[in-house]
Amino acid sequence: MEIRLNGKPERLTGAITVGDLIREKGLDPETVVVEHNLAIITTVDFDQVWLEDNDNLEILKFVGGG
């Protein structure tokens, strides 16, 4: 399956949820915002949303600073 992740093509093998992908990328689900096919999804839904071929995903990570 191929998706677009932050504007770049990404090939995935097998069924995977948004939550699985976030953890696979080494990100903390509590520190990211996810847009899936132009809709923001909440942290509690990350493990309920299954990725499909040609999905578009934008993952934004919060960064602290001052």
Q: What is the pLDDT of residues 11-59, one digit of tens each?
A: 998 899 999 999 999 999 999 999 999 999 999 999 999 999 999 999 9
12 part of a folded domain: yes
pLDDT, residue 64, reads 73
- On whether residue 22 sits in a domain, the answer given is yes
Tell me if the pTM is above 0.95: no
Please name every residue paired with 36 in a beta bridge, in sequence order, or none if there are none.
Answer: 39, 57
For residues 41-65, one letter each, b for 16 or more C-beta atoms within 10 angstroms of the residue's C-beta and e for the rest, the string is beeeebeebebeeebebebeeeeee
CATH code of residue 51: 3.10.20.30
The pLDDT assigned to 66 comes to 64
**Coil vs helix vs strand at 43:** helix
Q: Considering the domain boundaries, does residue 47 fall inside one?
A: yes
Residue 66, in any domain of the structure = no
Domain count, the chain: 1
Kindly state whether residue 54 falls inside one of the protein's structural domains: yes
User: Exposed, middle or buried, 28 (CB in 10 Å: 0-12/13-18/19+)?
Assistant: exposed
Residue 1 and residue 53 in contact, taking contact as beta carbons nearer than 8 Å: yes
Structural domain boundaries enclosing 21: 2-61
